[in-house]
Structure 1
Amino acid sequence: MKKLITNVAVISCLAFTAQQVSAQKVVVNREVETTNDGKMLLGNQLKDQFLKAPYADWYVKEHDEYAMDQKAINDLKKDKINSYNITVFMGTWCEDSHRDFPRLMKILEEVKYPENKLTIIAVNRKKESPTGDEGRYNIQKVPTIIVEKYGKEIGRIIEMPTTGYIERDLVNILKKDDQSVINEILK
């Protein structure tokens, strides 16, 4: 009987610990004050955070002034970009992020991309975040835009789009995914 009670107690403690670990929440919209860079976002962020000072100074201007490639936008809609997950690593201290992150957001707004399929992770100058996701994704430069489907990476845009347009690079990633599906079928 004593052994049974001990086993029940141990199992109860393990279950309670597992529940506590899974109940931990990811902090969203964390902002830190740095000596060299002033205010900086760190970790998981929501789009609205970039509409606040001091981030709105660069975000709104780049977002509003960016002229999208409408053909590429139409291709993204046709290729169902909304069925993919996107994770973007960026730095609020980084000029490339200041340019390309607002552009990406404007593109996603235009294609009516669901916000719940987008993960925005802000990193510090060492490319680190509180959750350590940068290690899992092997982030070396920012911004890095990662496109995934069914938990598998399809492609990424690192630091700046190779075509000069994020939307064109995204179309190329989706076309590559379509081609890989066709190749699987033909094997």
Structure 2
Amino acid sequence: MKKITNIIAVSALLLVNQQLSAQKVVVNREVETTNDGKMLLGTQTKDQFTKAPYADWYVKEHDEYAIDQKAVDQLKKDKINSYNLIVFMGTWCEDSHRDFPRLMKILEELKYPENKLTIIAVNRKKESPSGEEGLYNIQKVPTIIVQKYGKEIGRIIEMPTTGYIERDLIEILKKDDQSVIKEIFSK
């Protein structure tokens, strides 16, 4: 009986290991293109953008951006750190060059947990190696998606409508609060 239990336990461990290794995601993939030179593709970590050639635009925009501190304080109150963010961007895209570094500066100010942030770089066709753009219907970049409990509650597409990412994020979180209130009173 003990032998059978051991065989089952080992088999279960092998199966779990196989599942985990099958789900490996390549992080910080960089490709060389004829028209655009180096380009990031797929899941990225934020430190990738402080390396050449991306640092040329990333560091300048990041350092020069003046954060709306009042809006950041409101985001802290609204507990933005409890939400997940998925960012689709292109290292070839001027809008991404402007807004992605600004978003990163805002998130640093918020001490936003890195494990709640997913950065996905796409090519000019708005494609990523794992096809996540299809799941989220990405048409333009940058697109910043705000999620709670795996459900999308809002997104910023291409440019913030208020002119400030932090203010647009407040508007998204307000909508989420209102939908919770509606849910409570509709029961």
Q: TM-score, normalising length from structure 1?
A: 0.90
Corresponding residue of 1:120: 119
1:31 aligned to 2:30?
yes
C-alpha deviation, 1:20, in angstroms: 3.1
Corresponding residue of 1:20: 18
Q: Deviations over 1:151-178 (max 9, x none)?
A: 0001000000000000000000001100
Corresponding residue of 2:159: 160
Q: Which 4+ stretches in 1 moved above 2 angstroms?
A: 15-22
Corresponding residue of 1:99: 98
Q: Flag structure 1 segments of 5+ consecutive residues without an equivalent.
A: 1-11
Q: Deviations over 1:2-57 (max 9, x none)?
A: xxxxxxxxxx7xx9678535413100000000000000000000000000000000
Aligned-pair identity in percent equals 84
Corresponding residue of 2:69: 70
User: C-alpha distance in 2, partners of 1:99/1:50?
Assistant: 13
User: C-alpha distance in 1, partners of 2:18/2:78?
Assistant: 41
Alignment of 1:32-51 (within 5 A): 32-51=31-50
Aligned residues: 176
Q: Flag structure 2 segments of 5+ consecutive residues without an equivalent.
A: 1-10
Q: TM-score, normalising length from structure 2?
A: 0.90
User: C-alpha distance in 1, partners of 2:16/2:83?
Assistant: 31
